[in-house]
Amino acid sequence: MAISGRFFLVALAAVVPIIAVPGPATWLLALGVLLFIVVLDLSLAASPRHVVVRRVIPSGVRLGEQTTAVLRLANESTRPLNAVVKDGWQPSAGASNALQTVRVRPGERAALGVALLPARRGDLLTRHVTIRSFGPLGMAARQQTIEAPGTLRVLPAFHSKRHLPSKLRKLRELDGKAAVQIRGAGTEFDSLRDYVRGDDVRSIDWRATARRRDVVVRTWRPERDRRVVIVLDTSRTSAARIEDETALDTGIEASLLLAVLAERGGDRVSLIAYDRRVRTQVSSTGKGNMLNAMVQGLAPLEPELIELNNQAIPGAVRAVTSHRSLVVLVTSLDAGAAEEGLIPLVASLSQKHVVVVASVRDPAVDAARRDRRTTTLTYRAAAAEHALNRRAAITAVLKQAGASVVDAPPQELPPQLADMYIRLKAAGRL
C-alpha cells in the first residue's frame, strides 16, 4: 500500500476545519473521512496481482549506445489500471525513465519503453517490476512487486574500430606487393607481372622472362590461412585501472581490433580468455559472424582476483590448434607476476609458435618519473624509475626468448598491436 501527494494535501487541508471548530469531534471526524477515502480508493483500485508482465529486451547493445527495453503489461483484472510502474534495472543500466505512469483498461495491454544508456560492459540485470495501482481518486494505491528477471548484454565499445580502415589499407598494400627483401619460405607466389623500374632485380623470374622476351617479375602475396591465437589474461593483474579503464578493457579493445584485422587478412583467429580456466573461447573456424561471436563472448568478462595459471596456457593453445601459429599474449608486464610465470611460458611457447606479448603501459609512471619538484615527488620518481627498469629488464628477457613485445599506453595499444601483426605478416613470419 502507498499514499499519494494528493492524499497528503487533503490531510493538510483538513487542518482548516479543525482550527475553525476545535474539539475532539472535528478531529475524529477528519480522521474518519481520511480513513474512508483510503479504504474506498484501495477497494476500487485494480489489483496489481492481476497484471501480467512480459519483457522484450534487445539481444545486445554496444557500450555507449542507447537502447530501449520494452515492458508489456496486460491488465487481467476487471477494473481500469491506473498505475505507476517501476522497472528494477540496476543503476549502471542507466534507465532514465524507469518510473512511468500508465493507464490500462480492463482486459487490455500496454507497452512501456524504458530507455537504457548502459554505463558498464557486461550482463546488466533487472530483477523485478513494481506496480503501484492507484484507485479512481488517486489518493491511495496498492503496490505489488512482481519478480520478472531480465538481462541486457552490453558489448564492448570497440572504440579501436576507428583504426580499422587505415590498418586494413596497410594490409591490402601487402597484397600483390613484390616481395622485396624477403624471399623466405613463408611468402606465397601470387602472379607474374611486367618489370617496372624500382622492382628488386632479385625477384625477376628468368624463366618467364625468357618465354615472354620481356622482363617479368614474380610477385608475392602474404600467406593466408595462418593461425592467430589471442590469449587474453583475465587474472588479477587485469583488474588494474590505467587511465580510464581496466587493463582488461584495453586488452579487449586490442584483441577485437587484431581479430577483425587478421580475419580480413585471411587468417584464422581464435581467442581464449584465461586465468585458471577458460572464461571464453571463440574461433573463426566456425560459421557466422566472427566479430559478433567475439563481442558476445567478451562482454561478460570481468577481472578475477586469482593468479594466472601459466603452466596451463600451452595446453589451452594446443587445444585450439596444433599448427604453428601467432600467439598473442595480452597480459601484464608487472614485475613479480611476469618473472614467475610469463618468462618460462614465453620461452616454451616460442619454441613452436611466434609469440607477441602485449601489455598496457601506465602513462602515470612515465609522468611520475619526470616530476622531481619536491622531495616526496623525487622519491616517487625514483620508485617509478625502479618500476620502469624492472619492466625494461623483463622486456629484454622476453625479446631474448624470441618474443615480440608491444608495451603501450591504453590508447596506443590496439593500433600498435595491429601494426605488429602487419609487420610480422609482411615479414612472412606467420
292-351 residues near other proteins, rule: CB under 8 A: 302-303, 305, 334
Q: Does 239 bind other proteins (CB under 8 A)?
A: yes
Identity of the residue, 74 or 168, whose beta carbon is nearer to other proteins in the bound complex? 74
In angstroms, what is the minimal distance from the CB of 252 to other proteins? Answer: 13
Residue 97 and residue 87: Cα distance in Å, rounded? Answer: 9
In angstroms, what is the minimal distance from the CB of 231 to other proteins? Answer: 21
In angstroms, what is the minimal distance from the CB of 2 to other proteins? Answer: 4
Q: Does 111 bind other proteins (CB under 8 A)?
A: no
Q: How many residues does the chain have?
A: 430
Q: Does 288 bind other proteins (CB under 8 A)?
A: no
Residue 354 and residue 21: Cα distance in Å, rounded? Answer: 94
In angstroms, what is the minimal distance from the CB of 89 to other proteins? Answer: 7
In angstroms, what is the minimal distance from the CB of 266 to other proteins? Answer: 29
Q: Which of 230, 261, 329, 384 binds other proteins (CB under 8 A)?
A: 384
Binding track, positions 64-93, relative to other proteins; x by CB under 8 A: ----------x---------x-x-xxxxx-
Residue 144 and residue 141: Cα distance in Å, rounded? Answer: 10
Cβ atoms 118, 152 nearer than 8 A: yes
What the block records as the C-alpha cell of 38 is: 483510503
In angstroms, what is the minimal distance from the CB of 14 to other proteins? Answer: 7
Q: Does 415 bind other proteins (CB under 8 A)?
A: no
User: CA-CA-CA-CA torsion for 316, 317, 322, 327, nearest 10 degrees?
Assistant: 180
Q: Does 251 bind other proteins (CB under 8 A)?
A: no
Would strands 325-330 and 227-233 be described as parallel, antiparallel, or unpaired? parallel
Kindly determine how many residues on this chain lie close enough to bind other proteins according to the rule CB under 8 A. 88
Binding track, positions 132-161, relative to other proteins; x by CB under 8 A: x----------xxxxxx-x-----------
For residue 285, the tally of other CB atoms under 10 A from its CB is: 12
Identity of the residue, 167 or 391, whose beta carbon is nearer to other proteins in the bound complex? 391
Q: Which of 159, 170, 279, 369 binds other proteins (CB under 8 A)?
A: 369
Residue 259 and residue 284: Cα distance in Å, rounded? Answer: 9
Chain-centroid distance, C-alpha 382 = 36
Identity of the residue, 76 or 223, whose beta carbon is nearer to other proteins in the bound complex? 76
Helix (H, G, I), strand (E, B) or coil at 47: coil
Identity of the residue, 70 or 210, whose beta carbon is nearer to other proteins in the bound complex? 70
Residue 345 and residue 321: Cα distance in Å, rounded? Answer: 17
Cβ atoms 247, 360 nearer than 8 A: yes
In angstroms, what is the minimal distance from the CB of 116 to other proteins? Answer: 14
Cβ atoms 253, 413 nearer than 8 A: yes
Q: Does 276 bind other proteins (CB under 8 A)?
A: no
Q: Does 242 bind other proteins (CB under 8 A)?
A: yes
User: What are the backbone angles phi and psi of residue 412, rounded to the nearest 5°?
Assistant: -90, -20
For residue 335, the tally of other CB atoms under 10 A from its CB is: 15
